[in-house]
Chains A and B, each alone.
Chain A
């Protein structure tokens, strides 16, 4: 049973981690919490649903179509995040720290209600990407869906790691996160790097939205809220602004939830209480999160 619960926790944690990365990347550069991120995630899922109907005609069924749906939804979600930054955050960047935050909440409400009014007030069925089969490993039943989710999440995390650590643009991002003004003096265009960061964060959020839709089979205008709040928690738990912290926090939160509902009598009711109690305790002991201080480097 433990193996099964760990697999359940791993899938849940992978989705939380991907979303948490979006929060942490933006915070790393602008020290701002992008509260509209949960809506970017929701829009990613809705774009994938639209594409799922169109794409098989272009790419064919199976994994190629799936990859196409993924990449296009990610690009779309990234672009939306860039637009949000350009029109709702950039004009307010130097006004005060509170103004962009309120603007973010406003964007979140507008996007959510836009989908509610113009697209659907109800849950829409999200197609199953592949036929669901199961394999037995160490007494645990692992579905093909869980394998896809985990593989996609880990692949994206690896690509992000490579991008941030080993490319020139990644280096520029790290420089901006260290000190945006000095980076500007060194010839880096901060606006460009900020837009790029929003694109990457949004794309990861979009991917998480697609995985979320696949995992639960239906999507709705307010689907972003709960995982968004949980992933934000995960980012803070791991140390907001820190990439490895976001991943760690996401997985820890996933495991906590699963273990609480799996091992504590009537734990399903208490799952969120337990997860957030742990968060408070961690923050009391380490106010900057688990990995918040160890690495001075943010991003």
Chain B
């Protein structure tokens, strides 16, 4: 075979391999799909899929929409890789993601250069949106989020600890991540303002397993802490609870943490030791929202075998807000969608969502819950 002939054959084979051109429009779902945070990400993926399927069925769009999942493995480095992949795919209109604040902060910088809009359903560190106002921001302001931030959540938990539980001295722990440390610092700020005292502050690492030495120190410290506030995720929170029980650090010694620990995985790691832990969650759990009743039923009908995760209704709402913006923009145009997202006034499962000039939702509701191991549930504390 001559070289030219070979070239022709190769070209034909290549065009055949491409097949009929897929013209569907994508909404990217960039979340952890594997690893310990994978269950949360899978929940968000299902929620976005549900929203997209409903939109396709309603015939609102003259083209087919798909939810395209990307796995950031809860790792900021991987999030940047994924963000580059998403930004370079012209069929992606906007992104629902990321789950972890650290991932959202670094990926947003990539999306800004594209530019493509990012609506986070879960990242709560204030910096996720605040970084857009810095002078060296590479693109338009295109980061939005449908959850209240940690300055609201951390200070709510601090008020709860001092006013509701009557705690005067708390020990502070965090996992040194953007999310965990940020949350712990907000807690500290408000707790000090309320006249409380932070008796110790320690950082741990994500993936650490043994906290007994640290807990022993807190238990025997002469300053007598009355509880622990932990900024971090359920894997470490679960081990802390488990080892607290082994060291007989029990009620009324309190364990308070945030939305990163409030997930069913906590019961898998801590077992019965999770009982009585206080965990705040941004917004209101879907089960207690009248406006989310239809979503809860539809989700159950569409995914009968899957547990609905605490952030799924935020993921569903983020996708719906993006689709509403696409509709107003008159087409899947990335820049127009960003402009329309800023004008959002969406009536949906979360009630009315409006973004302030930072891109944050104007809703600042936080709910405190208490873990009940036997029911595998988090009951709201009023």
A125 engages B36 (CB within 8 Å): no
User: A217 an interface residue at 8 Å Cβ cutoff?
Assistant: yes
Contact B246 A266 (CB under 8 A): no
- Nearest-neighbour CB distance to chain A for B268, whole angstroms, equals 5
Determine whether A262 belongs to the interface, using a CB cutoff of 8 Å to chain B: yes
Which residues of the other chain, B, contact A266 by a CB distance below 8 angstroms? Answer: 201-203
Interface centre among A4, A215, A226, A268 (most CB of B within 10 A): A268
Whether the Cβ atoms of B246 and A132 lie closer than 8 Å is yes
Contact with A along B239-260 (1 / 0, CB 8 A): 1001001111000000000000
Checking A1, A128, A145, A269 against B271 with a beta-carbon cut-off of 8 angstroms, the contacting residue is A128
Partner of B216, one of A124, A145, A218, A262: A262
Interface residue? A31 (CB, 8 A): no
Complex Cα distance, B239 from A31, in Å, reads: 37
Q: Which residues from chain A contact B210 at a C-beta distance below 8 Å?
A: 8, 12, 216, 257
Give the interface size class of chain B. 35 or more
> Which of A5, A12, A262 has the most C-beta atoms of chain B within 10 angstroms of its own C-beta?
A262
Residues of B within 8 Å of A5, CB to CB, are 213, 216
User: A141 in the interface, Cβ–Cβ < 8 Å?
Assistant: yes
A260 CA to B211 CA, complexed, in Å: 12
Q: Is the interface of B mostly helix, strand, loop or mixed?
A: helix
Once the chains bind, are B36 and A123 in contact (CB under 8 Å)?
A: yes
Q: In the assembly, what is the distance between CA of A218 and CA of B270, in Å?
A: 9
Q: Are A268 and B239 in contact (CB under 8 A)?
A: no
Q: In chain B between 180 and 216, which residues have their CB closer than 8 angstroms to a CB of chain A?
A: 201-205, 207-214, 216
Residues of A within 8 A of B270 (CB): 217
Are the CB atoms of B268 and A218 closer together than 8 Å? yes
B155 contacts the other chain (CB 8 A): no
A-B contact pairs, 26 of them (CB 8 A): A4-B216, A8-B213, A9-B213, A12-B212, A116-B34, A122-B34, A122-B35, A122-B38, A122-B39, A125-B268, A141-B246, A143-B246, A145-B246, A146-B246, A216-B209, A218-B238, A218-B269, A258-B213, A261-B217, A262-B213, A262-B214, A263-B217, A266-B203, A267-B202, A268-B204, A268-B208
Which positions in B face A, CB cutoff 8 Å? 34-36, 38-39, 176, 201-205, 207-214, 216-217, 219-220, 235, 238-239, 242, 245-248, 265, 268-271
Provide the residues of chain A in CB contact with B214, threshold 8 Å. Answer: 261-262, 268
Contacts of A123 in B (CB 8 A): 36, 235, 265, 268-269
In the bound complex, residues from chain A placing their C-beta under 8 Å from that of B211 are 268
Which residues of chain A from 140 to 163 have any CB-CB distance to chain B below 8 Å in the complex?
141, 143, 145-146
> Complex: how many Å from CA A121 to CA B40?
13
Selected contact of B204 from candidates A226, A259, A260, A269, CB within 8 Å? A269
Contact: B239 with A217, CB < 8 Å?
yes
